[in-house]
């Protein structure tokens, strides 16, 4: 890693349905890469919490507890998907184990499937903009609930709409709505994640990208976390150095990792 404090705070092991390697293998890779801090954040999709993810979360936390981290700052995290789609599940999930870090994510709109499965190629452009408006609105509700530490991969729908399906989206009409998301994060002291997975995918940029990071900073945003969203050892740490460079370009001098649900600020050097 180029940066002394390079840290990966969003990634998945085989404790997630779409992860490939064990927590121990992921931790070993983090150490091999020379990451300063490593946080594992397996999925907890709240709309399937009681029937599926409650047990999975237990397995994942048990696996993290069994690890013996040496020469690395290791933190135990969770990626909480769609908390408002089962609020009782979300609240149970975050208080059940003593996590260091909880990411709040929105992978699918209420009563819709994951953007991953949504085919927008046959939709009129206005309908796609409508989905994005709904996305910002649900994010605002999530933030006002506030039971998480960092907002995961803002602009996630673009990974599929723009990256995978090649539909060019102008975010200009959404500027005000995105500002509302940033202001809500700042007011609630919730961090914004720089998700670097887009750099190795067809999208070709981070989620959110540099102009949005700069806008968040301009509005007063100070808390930012970084994550590769790797689902295998090969992708771990991917794009973290570049993400740190983008934060610097956006005017940040430090970023955050979380321990015991509190931010620990580290320099972007
Ligand atoms: Zn996610
Ligand atoms: Zn993830």
CATH of the domain at 179: 3.20.20.140
At a CB cut-off of 8 Å and minimum separation 6, what does 172 contact? none
- Return the SS3 of 33: helix
Distance (Å) from CA 45 to ligand 1 centroid: 10
> Could you say which ligand is closest to the alpha carbon of residue 116?
1
> Could you say which ligand is closest to the alpha carbon of residue 156?
1
- Residue 2 resides in a domain: no
pLDDT at 105: 98
Euclidean distance between CA atoms 254 and 40, whole angstroms: 21
pLDDT at 49: 98
> Could you say which ligand is closest to the alpha carbon of residue 105?
1
- Return the SS3 of 119: coil
Distance (Å) from CA 132 to ligand 1 centroid: 16
pLDDT at 103: 99
At a CB cut-off of 8 Å and minimum separation 6, what does 183 contact? 219
pLDDT at 99: 98
- CA dihedral of 206, 211, 212, 216, whole degrees rounded to 10: 130
Euclidean distance between CA atoms 106 and 75, whole angstroms: 22
One pLDDT digit (tens) per residue for the chain, 269 residues = 999 999 999 999 999 999 999 999 999 999 999 999 999 999 999 999 999 999 999 999 999 999 988 899 999 999 999 999 999 999 999 999 999 999 999 999 999 999 999 999 999 999 999 999 999 999 999 999 999 999 999 999 999 999 999 999 999 999 999 999 999 999 999 999 999 999 999 999 999 999 999 999 999 999 999 999 999 999 999 999 999 999 999 999 999 999 999 999 999 98
pLDDT at 68: 87
- Residue 81 resides in a domain: yes
Domain count for the chain, please give it: 1
DSSP 207: B
> Could you say which ligand is closest to the alpha carbon of residue 229?
2
- Residue 65 resides in a domain: yes
pLDDT at 223: 98
- Residue 1 resides in a domain: no
Distance (Å) from CA 190 to ligand 1 centroid: 17
> Could you say which ligand is closest to the alpha carbon of residue 81?
1
Distance (Å) from CA 148 to ligand 2 centroid: 14
Q: What is the pTM of this model?
A: 0.98
Range of the domain at 51: 7-267
pLDDT at 43: 98
Cross-strand pairs, 266:
255
Distance (Å) from CA 43 to ligand 2 centroid: 7
Distance (Å) from CA 125 to ligand 2 centroid: 27
pLDDT at 57: 98
């Amino acid at each position: 890693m180029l940066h002394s404090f390079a840290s990966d705070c969003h990634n998945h092991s085989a404790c997630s349905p779409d992860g490939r390697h064990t927590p121990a293998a992921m931790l070993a890779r983090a150490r091999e890469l020379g990451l300063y801090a490593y946080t594992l954040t397996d999925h907890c999709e709240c709309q399937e919490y009681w029937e599926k993810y409650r047990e999975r979360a237990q397995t994942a936390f048990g696996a993290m507890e069994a690890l013996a981290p040496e020469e690395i700052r290791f933190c135990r995290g969770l990626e909480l998907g769609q908390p408002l789609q089962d609020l009782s599940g979300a609240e149970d999930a975050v208080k059940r184990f003593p996590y260091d870090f909880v990411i709040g994510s929105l992978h699918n709109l209420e009563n819709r499937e994951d953007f991953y499965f949504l085919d927008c190629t046959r939709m009129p452009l206005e309908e796609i903009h409508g989905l994005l408006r709904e996305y910002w609105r649900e994010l605002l509700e999530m933030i006002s609930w506030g039971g998480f530490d960092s907002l995961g991969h803002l602009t996630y729908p673009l990974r599929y709409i723009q990256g995978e399906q090649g539909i060019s989206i102008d975010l200009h009409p959404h500027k005000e709505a995105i500002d509302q998301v940033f202001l809500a994060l700042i007011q609630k002291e919730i961090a914004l994640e720089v998700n670097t997975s887009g750099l190795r995918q067809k999208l070709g940029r981070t989620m959110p990208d540099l102009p949005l990071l700069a806008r968040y900073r301009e509005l007063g945003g100070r808390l930012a976390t970084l994550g590769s969203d790797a689902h295998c050892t090969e992708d771990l740490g991917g794009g973290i150095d570049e993400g740190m460079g983008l934060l610097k370009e956006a005017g940040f001098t430090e970023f955050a990792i979380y321990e015991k649900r509190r931010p620990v600020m580290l320099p972007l050097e």
